[in-house]
Amino acid sequence: MKTLFQRALGPFALVTLAATVWLGLWITPPDQRQGELVRLLYIHPALAWVALYVSFGVVVVASALYLWPRTRSMTLDRVVEAGLEVSVIFIGLTLVTGSIWGRPTWGVWWAWDARLTSTAVMGVLELGCIALRRANDDPQTRARRSAVLVLVSAVNVPIIHFSVQWWNTLHQGASVLTPTGKLNVHGSQLWTLLLSFFAFTLVYGWLLRSRYRLESDRSSRHDRQLQRAIAERQSEGSRA
């Protein structure tokens, strides 16, 4: 049976997302420097937060726990399966919204900027992990190989995070805090920005749970079909 949290997750995610849109489009003021473009501040950073830290972070933890013999289970592998697909979606949305923001700001839809390029590489690595899983029929082999590739791919996360500090890039620095710890945004803009992080994290949780349930149901059907086939073969052997 579904718990109250599970039943409320989807509607609550929708409500907080709607509140973010309402505050971001009609309540918060335009920025002195970016004007109305500041509205993207309530979408793009939150998408990047979920894609690079929350979603992929869950995949990395699940992969590491699977590779550790004491915690190894196919439940963790299903989390990896679901998390990779959801993370790819958020990576794609991050790149799209970044391009929409970059066109009027930089004058181009795309630039081989360090952060943009490393984020795109992360998307390619995640697609590679998904492709690797599709190429293996044995569940244990598939889980082990994809977990290893996920942990290798995790090296790219600190590169993305620190790229604006390590190289001279077009991409701006941190949206909320400066390197010295001071706030970049204040007032209604700050609260709307924090709400957007919360809302997109809830959306991610709902998507992950939904995709996990689909994968769990598929795995259960496969196990039942396998057991039925074994039983039929044993029955045929006993009659012979």
pLDDT at residue 144, as a whole number: 92
Copy the structure tokens of residue 221: 């059907």
Q: Does any domain span residue 153?
A: yes
Q: How many domains does the chain have?
A: 1
Residues 186, 199: Cα–Cα separation, whole Å? 19
From first to last of the 240 residues of the chain, give the pLDDT tens digit. Answer: 456 677 788 889 999 999 999 998 888 888 777 778 888 889 999 999 999 899 999 999 999 999 998 999 989 999 999 999 999 999 999 999 988 888 887 788 888 888 888 999 999 999 999 999 888 778 888 899 999 999 999 999 999 888 877 777 766 666 665 555 566 676 788 889 999 999 999 999 999 998 988 877 776 665 566 566 666 666 666 665
Residue 9 has what pLDDT? 85
Q: Tokens for 219?
A: 């795995």
Domain annotation covers residue 148: yes
Residue 221 falls within a domain, yes or no?
no
d(C-alpha 122, C-alpha 158), whole Å:
11
Specify if 217 maps to a domain.
Answer: no
Task: Using the CB atoms, write b or e for 148-168: b if 16+ within 10 Å.
Answer: ebbeebbebbebbeebbeeee
Q: Identity (one letter) of the amino acid at 227?
A: Q
**Could you give phi then psi for residue 108, rounded to 5 degrees?**
-140, 155
Nearest CA-CA partner of 203 in 37, 75, 19: 19
Element (H, E) at 9: helix 4-22
Domain range holding 41?
10-212
How far is residue 210's CA from residue 86's CA, in Å, rounded to a whole number? 10
Looking at the domain assignment, is residue 91 inside a domain?
A: yes
Tell me whether residue 40 is in a domain. Answer: yes
Helix/strand/coil (H, E, C) string of the chain?
CCCHHHHHHHHHHHHHHHHHHHHHHHHCCCECCCEHHHHHHHCHHHHHHHHHHHHHHHHHHHHHHHHCHHHCCHHHHHHHHHHHHHHHHHHHHHHHHHHHHHHHHHCCCCCCCHHHHHHHHHHHHHHHHHHHHHCCCCHHHHHHHHHHHHHHHCCHHHHHHHHHHHCCCCCCCCCCECCCCCECCCHHHHHHHHHHHHHHHHHHHHHHHHHHHHHHHHHHHHHHHHHHHHHHHHHHHHHC
Report pLDDT for 1. 45
Question: Is 162 a member of any domain?
Answer: yes
